[in-house]
Amino acid sequence: MPFVISTFDKANHKHVRDALRQRHLEYLEANVKKVIAGGGFFNDEGTLVIGGLLIVDVESRVEAEEFIRNDPFSSGDLFERVEIVRWKCSFLDFKRVLPAAPRVA
């Protein structure tokens, strides 16, 4: 089941993000089968990363919490705040995603 993980960086922690970015990307690559989508949040000018979003396909909220806890950005104390919510896809690639047809036994 998909979960959205939104992260928000601590102020003045660009140096932490920069130092850990490669390890963060390697972590995501190592776990790519769980990552539906991901990317950075930017300030309004588009000049500074201020957090990020991951949509992960895991079995439970506990697994989503573990996923972000094991991210090098977390262990490097980059985040001011992390929010995790269960998610259901309704639109994707500029199209409405219809629910799957019920299974017939």
74: left (phi over 0), alpha (psi -120 to 50) or beta: alpha
pLDDT band at residue 34 using 50, 70 and 90 as cut-offs: very high
Least confident of 35-49, 63-77, 85-99: 85-99
**Sequential DSSP letters for 71-84:** SHHHHTT-EEEEEE
Domains of the chain in sequence order: 2-96 (3.30.70.1060)
**pLDDT for 59-80, tens place per residue?**
999 999 999 999 999 999 999 9
- Rounded Cα distance between 91 and 59, Å, is 22
> Residue 33: exposed, middle, or buried by beta-carbon count in 10 A (0-12, 13-18, 19+)?
exposed
The pTM is what? 0.90
